[in-house]
Amino acid sequence: MNEYPVILTINCGSSSVKFSVLDEISMEPLLTGICEGINTESASLIVNNGEPVRLAHSDYEDALAAIALELEKRDLIKCVAYIGHRIAHGGAIFGESVLLTDDVVEQIREVSPLAPLHNYANLSGVASARQRFPGVPQVAVFDTSFHQTISPEAYLYGLPYRYFEEYGVRRYGFHGTSHRYVSIQAAELPELKGAASGLVIAHLGNGASVCAVVEGESVDTSMGMTPLEGLIMGTRCGDVDFGAMVWLARQTGQSLDDLEQVANTESGLLGLSGISSDLRVLEKAWRSGDGRAQLAIDTFVHRIARTIGGHATSLPHFDGLIFTGGIGENSALIRSLVIKHLRVFGIELDEEKNAQPNSGGERVISTEGSAVLCAVIPTNEEKMIALDARQLGKASRLAEFA
Ligand SMILES: Nc1ncnc2c1ncn2[C@@H]1O[C@H](COP(=O)(O)OP(=O)(O)O)[C@@H](O)[C@H]1O
Ligand SMILES: CC(=O)OP(=O)(O)O
Ligand SMILES: [Mg+2]
């Protein structure tokens, strides 16, 4: 074993590889970074929010090689004790994190058609890391695991039951690692302690979902069998009448594959605004008078508020509304607009508290008189992944010596 053990977490997305290195004992991050532009003409690596450095090639293997080089430069390569991978879809097979073995990789491959944008990328990262770090225990942490507590009435679609029985067509939910972390942190907020029986968490990032949590367990969530259902997202449409898609296919002659591509990559904030999927760009455009940017933001907000309201009906009592994710943590505008839509719940925003920057960390943003406590809790998926990697990795090492 090395003297200064660290944990490497890897989150391979469809166009990026995010990584972080955490101290095994304190779980504090020592190094974070992102390789962007994977499988495009120009991939680059950004370490600790520094300047981007162009990579010679742009595949996952090259990204992993560049990350390994950063570790080597800092004498950390031999310190990697465990590796944790974010895997988007675990289907009905994985109710919790698991040690990666050849069999587990095969099982993940079997469920991967359910989340093609995410899972194949995740598996590429697993393959590269297993090759580059032989002998280091590696663990898969699934977005879907936290939602395995959801009951059939919340996960079934109104389709013939045989599709569920024969093909496993049901809702699974995603962003579970984030919802799990945030629900644990929320239960520790002094203002919620002892009362956090019912939370609604809005994870608003590029992908976005809402989750209802009762006593620490997920009871409902807005994403479905794939990460396309629910909220309007950066480039994903979220809920759409299936009849509208059928009508569109007939009118335009587009195939199912074409429309899947439209729904996943050309829709959402990007499709509505015609400008960008990046909320920062849209907020700026709105401020300079762009009507379509405003329409995109208003539509995005309407869907979030409606979804939060719907999820509140799964709670015995609506104790807390928590915002997280890149947008949830940083956009005072979106939080303020969403909360205005939720007047019926007696929720009141404290505008001054809402204007505090995210560098302030976990913070309450509602007034003292608000019927529901509203807070921002910065997510930390890396820490959750590292904790699972440490726990399962340690157990596997002990088993080796048993
Ligand atoms: N200061 C900010 N104000 C408004 N939006 C922001 C800010 N910082 C980040 N965002 C938005 O957060 C989104 C990305 O969220 P993030 O959680 O990082 O996404 P991912 O799903 O890729 O992890 C983008 O739409 C981005 O514009
Ligand atoms: C599942 C999902 O939507 O993930 P992301 O937010 O990383 O796109
Ligand atoms: Mg994210």
Token pair 């002094």: residue: 190
**Does 326 sit in the ligand 1 pocket, CB within 6 Å?**
yes
Q: In what order do the strands lie in the sheet with 98-99?
A: 53-54, 44-47, 29-36, 16-23, 6-12, 80-87, 138-142, 98-99
Cα-to-centroid distance, 206 and ligand 1 (Å): 6
Q: How would you label 226-255 residue by residue, b for 16+ Cβ within 10 Å and e otherwise?
A: bbbbbbbbbbbbbeeeeeebeeeeeeeeee
pLDDT score for 171: 97
Which three-class secondary structure state does DSSP give residue 285? helix
pLDDT band at residue 2 using 50, 70 and 90 as cut-offs? low
CA 79 to chain centre: 28
Q: Name the percent of the chain lying above pLDDT 70.
A: 99
In tens, the pLDDT along 297-329 reads: 999 999 999 999 999 999 999 999 999 999 999
pLDDT score for 196: 64
Instruction: State mean pLDDT over 1-16.
Output: 84
Q: Whose CA is nearest to atom 4 of ligand 2?
A: 207
168: left (phi over 0), alpha (psi -120 to 50) or beta: left
Backbone phi, psi, residue 350, to 5°: -95, 105
For residue 207, the ligand closest to its alpha carbon is: 2
- Specify the range with the lowest mean pLDDT, choosing from 65-69, 117-121, 165-169, 350-354: 117-121
Q: Whose CA is nearest to atom 8 of ligand 2?
A: 207
Residues ≥6 apart with Cβ < 8 Å to 188? none
pLDDT score for 386: 97
Instruction: State mean pLDDT over 75-80.
Output: 94
In tens, the pLDDT along 342-373 reads: 999 999 999 999 999 999 999 999 999 999 99
pTM of the predicted model, to two decimals? 0.94
pLDDT score for 3: 73
Q: Per the annotation, where are the binding residues for ATP?
A: 18, 203-207, 278-280, 326-330
Distance CA 306, CA 231 (A): 9
CA 65 to chain centre: 25
Residue 143 bears catalytic tag:
yes
Catalytic residue among 59, 102, 143, 239: 143
Packing angle, helices 176-187 and 381-401, rounded to 10: 100
CB–CB of 367/348 below 8 Å? Answer: yes
Instruction: State the Cα angle at 324 between 169 and 342, rounded to 5°.
Output: 85
Backbone phi, psi, residue 323, to 5°: -105, 140
**Does 207 sit in the ligand 1 pocket, CB within 6 Å?**
yes
Cα-to-centroid distance, 227 and ligand 2 (Å): 7
**Does 327 sit in the ligand 1 pocket, CB within 6 Å?**
yes
Mean pLDDT of the residues in the chain:
94
Asked if residue 116 has pLDDT above 90, the reply is: no
**Does 234 sit in the ligand 1 pocket, CB within 6 Å?**
yes
Cα-to-centroid distance, 228 and ligand 2 (Å): 9
Asked if residue 377 has pLDDT above 80, the reply is: yes
Backbone phi, psi, residue 33, to 5°: -170, 175
Asked if residue 42 has pLDDT above 90, the reply is: no
Instruction: State mean pLDDT over 258-284.
Output: 96
